[in-house]
A and B are shown apart, each in its own frame.
Chain A
């Protein structure tokens, strides 16, 4: 059944206002898109990070569903414990009738997912727990003050890869987490971008309903970290996809495909924009537009093209 905005607006939003995320932060929107994609009862676990910190400052919580924060690196293990408890309590008849279809979702930033929580995630995926792990990927340790992570792209100015007289920012390309997760051969994996809410919600619905582990990596432009205006993230999310910096991917039972704008680009029905279109409005890349750094933009473009070609090949397109 298609997801319709006119239906959604009449439903309770799982994350209330009054949270203290930055103005113009897309992460609460991502949470809304993920959690409202199905009507199942849900329990969420959250890794330490912006979302956790800013939505549950004691004695206030923005969460309308059962929710737990344990630590930074263990959201996957925590949700695994909850999901296991669910199976045990179902067996023993201790779960109320209206909760028997409960679904389990973990949220972590890229720090908690690509880096410190990768082992915990890998373990939970391998063990086959029935849960969805969502990485809201703002490409850095934003909560602690904009440090680099392994999700930070080449050339980004962060507080641990600052631009200086001899440095243009981060030197290394992003880690290909989608492929790492894909190597676990779990039933459902996707990347998503919140400007394309329909694509994100359709993916979330599949991810939540599939039997077994599912993973989604959702780009989350960061107002202070990317140095953008508070009303800008939707356009930047869109540019990320249209430049193929952030391809929309879906891997269902090992079958790779491209979706949304990425599919149109691969099919030749939409123009692939140069990466500058993604970089230009972000303060973290401002220095790259100086003459002395023009090679870095080429470096980024080469990295984007290499990844894009790889994902296209995986999705069955010939170069």
Chain B
């Protein structure tokens, strides 16, 4: 049977991927805008389309706790959440990573309270950037779907054994229908393979997980996490290559769009990059040499990749969908830090956009293009940050 497109929302794309993964255990608690993922997955459970044991926990704290328990037992365990749900999990999010459990968690990015807001921004996962998880950000529904399989392979890789957050933007992606091409079940099954890690129920001998780790060894265990993260990009590259061969869709750590001869580029993550690409197409029509750069991963931070790519351009506008109050926002600061020792570096400008789900419109991004043209010609506005689209 030839593969064909089917209309799915971002949330349904995630659920569809999870159905094909058919994890041993799913423990999740509903929160807008993640709810359609657990609702759809619950239908798959109810109809026997998966044989996953689903734990309908009483909070996100227990969702992550039970997921940790299941993964530690030796099961392929998944969960999904958003915003305040991720915040409630916080303590256990760190424990999942430091215990080196290959959990895949779907994140539907949503603004953190307060005041309470249900729409998309990246304040939730950016806050969790030091938790020790790998983070992959998805621009559209197809990428959401595809990222789940790659995330699982990355997490379970024996050199890695770290959990992965698969992020998509709340509502903008999660609730919008797009054509998605799912792979046949057999292709997925072969790609993800059988789990190799062992847990409390499957290891040959009894062992202890989660001891009290004091001054004499805690530091060594942190070093192990640090080193594991260093091994992630080569693993990602190999898995993306294999994915392209099996699924026919090619991904890179950093996606470049019309950058071949670009003087200026706009960089950002997730759904906004769809609008950015449209703006670039229109600007190109007018003869403006502008392109786009989309890091797919934020953890580990693809600094070396960005250094190589961005040094080709005169000016870069960096879009962050979160703020780091009292400092500059995360994608911007980490990118800028990469160029500390470089003699060739682009001029940079930071934009904080789309907080609380505010639309980042074509008009706003056209202003970014104009800004960057000016920046590249005059150097004016280098290393400054502004709120894009806020009322003054």
Contacts and interface: CB of A to CB of B under 8 A. Distances in A.
Q: CB–CB under 8 A between A and B in the complex?
A: yes
Interface in A68-118: 68-71, 73-74, 76-82, 84-89, 91-92, 94-96, 99, 102
B91 A71 contact: yes
B213 A68 contact: no
A13 to B, nearest CB: 14
Contact of B206 (A66, A71, A85, A119): A66
Contacts of B73: 43, 81-82, 85-86, 89
B262 interface: no
A63 to B, nearest CB: 5
B84 interface: no
Interface centre among A59, A68, A87 (most CB of B within 10 A): A68
Contacts of A45: 69
Given A59-B217, A77-B65, A94-B202, A85 B212 contact: no
Interface in A24-55: 43, 45, 52-53
Nearest to A86: B201
Nearest to B73: A85
B58 A123 contact: yes
Contacts of A122: 58
Interface in B198-212: 199-203, 206-212
A147 interface: no
Interface string B53-87: 10111110110011111111111010000000000
A92 B24 contact: yes
Contacts of B67: 81
A70 B214 contact: no
A72 B138 CA distance: 34
A180 B368 CA distance: 59
A88 B68 contact: no
A65 B200 CA distance: 9
B201 A102 contact: yes
A91 B45 CA distance: 14
A9 to B, nearest CB: 22
A126 B213 CA distance: 33
A74 B61 CA distance: 8
A43 B51 CA distance: 23
A53 B210 CA distance: 10
Nearest to A124: B62
Contact of A84 (B55, B61, B207): B55
Contact of B53 (A56, A67, A84, A95): A84
A99 B206 CA distance: 12
Given A102-B201, A120-B62, A81 B55 contact: yes
Contacts of A64: 206
B52 interface: yes
Contacts of B57: 77, 80, 123, 127
A59 B77 CA distance: 27
Contacts, number: 166
A183 interface: no
Nearest to B27: A81
Nearest to B92: A71
A76 B206 CA distance: 20
Contacts of A52: 212
A99 B198 CA distance: 15
B95 interface: yes
Nearest to B210: A69
Contacts of A78: 65-66, 68-69, 72
Contacts of B37: none
Interface centre among A66, A81, A91 (most CB of B within 10 A): A81
B202 A89 contact: yes
A123 B200 CA distance: 23
Nearest to B59: A119
B53 A87 contact: yes
A56 to B, nearest CB: 4
A99 to B, nearest CB: 7
Interface string B241-264: 000000000000000000000000
B25 interface: yes
Interface centre among B27, B211, B217 (most CB of A within 10 A): B211
Interface string B173-202: 000000000000000000000000001111
A77 to B, nearest CB: 4
Nearest to A129: B55
Nearest to B66: A81
B58 A84 contact: no
Contact of A77 (B66, B77, B201): B66
Interface in B132-174: none
A64 to B, nearest CB: 6
A70 B210 contact: yes
Contact of A74 (B65, B71, B208): B65
Contacts of A85: 24-25, 53, 69-71, 73-75, 77, 199, 201
Contact of A89 (B24, B209, B214): B24
B217 A80 contact: no
A89 B200 CA distance: 12
B62 A70 contact: no
A74 B72 CA distance: 14
Contact of A61 (B62, B208, B216): B208
Nearest to B29: A123
Contacts of B72: 68, 70, 78, 81-82
Contact of B200 (A58, A66, A88, A119): A66
A160 B40 CA distance: 48
A96 to B, nearest CB: 8
Contacts of B91: 71
A57 B24 contact: no
A63 B207 CA distance: 8
22 contacts: A57-B211, A58-B211, A61-B211, A66-B203, A68-B209, A69-B210, A70-B68, A70-B210, A73-B61, A78-B69, A80-B55, A80-B62, A82-B70, A82-B73, A82-B201, A84-B69, A88-B52, A88-B75, A96-B202, A99-B201, A119-B59, A123-B59
Interface of B: 24-25, 27, 51-53, 55-59, 61-62, 65-75, 77, 91-92, 95, 199-203, 206-214, 216-217
